[in-house]
């Protein structure tokens, strides 16, 4: 069973000007990543705008990515929905599409107890034969996966890891400590990738890898080669573009920057578009000043 490691770009979902899935440009992005040093692909995450896509569109994205990858890289897909039944249904569709693992964000909007959260994840895990990756992003969902929940779920056979996007490094440390560093922990915050690896984690799901896939992948590759100073230079080097995420909805900023680099991935779905007249000069200047030689 696939166990997540390394750098997985949280790939954006290309759209046409009228906000429909642009499947050919999605496939172009996949072909682009296949020529890089990344270790897998992660579709339908936050950067993939899962929250504005229908079930049918999500299945379309999964199928296109799996078909284009054609076994050359592992594929993870976000399937988390508000209800357990919807999540199970989409997880089963992901398995049928051929993904290697599903990422399951916590239910959102309504309050969920730890016991209910454990039951939710166990139900999803028991419904499929592929890996299940827990996804913690409490700022977006209002639901935090506690270390106690991780401790209980880490022993479920096909729950194969957790992606933490809380931005709180202590949360990552707690997950590692409570599982004896035997359970894969990936950083969903690009600023913490190297430090997660140094603490015993296995990698990161990175939005900035849409921009600089080789460089971000090399944080992991150089770490594994024990070239820590070189890995740290890249890790520190993403600070200017990370600071730009404050301009607006962070994944909208990333998608706009991908466009400015010359890759046609189209708009984000409204109402999550940005003030591009303000963003573009700032992003263009940052990309030219700091990343001229990246990728």
Determine phi and psi for 150, rounding to 5 degrees.
-60, -40
| 180-201 confidence digits (pLDDT tens) | 999 999 999 999 999 999 999 9
Please report, for the chain, the start and end positions of each structural domain, with discontinuous segments joined by +. 6-235
Distance from the first to the final alpha carbon of the chain: 31
Cβ-contact 60, 23 below 8 angstroms: yes
**The pLDDT of residue 295 is above 90:** no
Q: Which of 48, 38, 138, 133 is nearest to 87 (CA)?
A: 133
Q: What is the pLDDT of residue 290?
A: 96
% of residues, the chain, pLDDT over 90: 100
**The pLDDT of residue 29 is above 90:** yes
Q: What is the pLDDT of residue 158?
A: 96
Contacts for 194 with CB less than 8 Å, ≥ 6 apart: 219, 223, 228, 231, 232, 235
Pick the CATH number of 6-235 from 3.30.420.10, 3.20.20.70, 3.40.640.10, 3.30.1360.170: 3.20.20.70
Q: Where in the sequence numbering do the catalytic residues fall?
A: 135, 163
**The pLDDT of residue 241 is above 90:** yes
Local structure of residue 248 (DSSP, 8 states) = S
Q: What is the mean pLDDT of residues 56-83?
A: 98
Q: What is the pLDDT of residue 61?
A: 98
Q: What is the mean pLDDT of residues 111-134?
A: 97
What SS3 string covers 10-51?
ECCCCECCCCCECHHHHHHHHHHHHCCCCCCEEECCCCCCHH
Q: What is the mean pLDDT of residues 125-146?
A: 97
**The pLDDT of residue 259 is above 90:** yes
C-alpha 270, offset from chain centre: 21
Q: What is the mean pLDDT of residues 223-229?
A: 98
Q: What is the mean pLDDT of residues 231-260?
A: 98
Mean pLDDT of all residues belonging to the chain: 97
Distances from the Cα of 74 to the Cα of 4, 9, 40, 69, angstroms? 9, 12, 5, 8
**The pLDDT of residue 133 is above 90:** yes
Q: Is the pTM of this model over 0.75?
A: yes
Confidence at 288, pLDDT banded by 50, 70, 90: very high
Q: What is the pLDDT of residue 20?
A: 98
Confidence at 101, pLDDT banded by 50, 70, 90: very high
Q: What is the mean pLDDT of residues 232-244?
A: 98
CB-neighbour burial class of residue 88 (10 A; exposed 0-12, middle 13-18, buried 19+): buried
**The pLDDT of residue 175 is above 90:** yes
Q: What is the pLDDT of residue 89?
A: 98
CA distance 59 to 8: 20
């Amino acid at each position: 069973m696939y166990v997540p490691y390394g750098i997985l770009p949280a790939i954006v979902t290309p759209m046409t000007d009228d906000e429909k899935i642009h499947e050919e440009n999605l496939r172009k992005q996949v072909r682009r990543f296949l020529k890089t040093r990344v270790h897998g692909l992660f579709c339908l995450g936050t950067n993939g705008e899962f929250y504005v896509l229908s079930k049918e569109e999500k299945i379309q994205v999964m199928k296109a990515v799996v078909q284009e990858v054609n076994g050359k890289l592992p594929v993870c897909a976000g399937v988390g929905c508000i209800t357990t039944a919807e999540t199970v249904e989409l997880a089963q569709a992901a398995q049928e599409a051929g993904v290697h693992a599903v990422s399951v964000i916590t239910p959102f909007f309504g309050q969920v107890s730890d016991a209910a959260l454990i039951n939710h994840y166990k139900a999803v895990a028991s419904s499929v034969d592929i890996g299940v990756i827990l996804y913690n992003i409490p700022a977006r969902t209002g639901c935090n996966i506690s270390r106690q929940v991780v401790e209980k779920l880490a022993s479920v056979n096909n729950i194969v890891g957790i992606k933490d996007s809380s931005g709180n490094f202590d949360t990552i440390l707690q997950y590692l400590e409570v599982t004896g560093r035997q359970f894969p922990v990936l950083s969903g915050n690009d600023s913490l990738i190297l430090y997660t690896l140094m603490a015993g984690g296995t990698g990161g799901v990175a939005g900035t890898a849409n921009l600089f896939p080789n460089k971000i992948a090399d944080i992991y590759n150089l770490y594994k080669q024990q070239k820590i100073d070189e890995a740290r230079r890249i890790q520190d080097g993403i600070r200017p573009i990370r600071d730009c995420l404050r301009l607006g909805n962070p994944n909208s900023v990333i998608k706009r920057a991908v466009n400015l680099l010359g890759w046609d991935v189209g708009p984000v779905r409204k109402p999550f578009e940005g003030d591009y007249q303000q963003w573009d000069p700032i992003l263009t200047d940052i990309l030219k000043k700091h990343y001229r030689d990246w990728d």
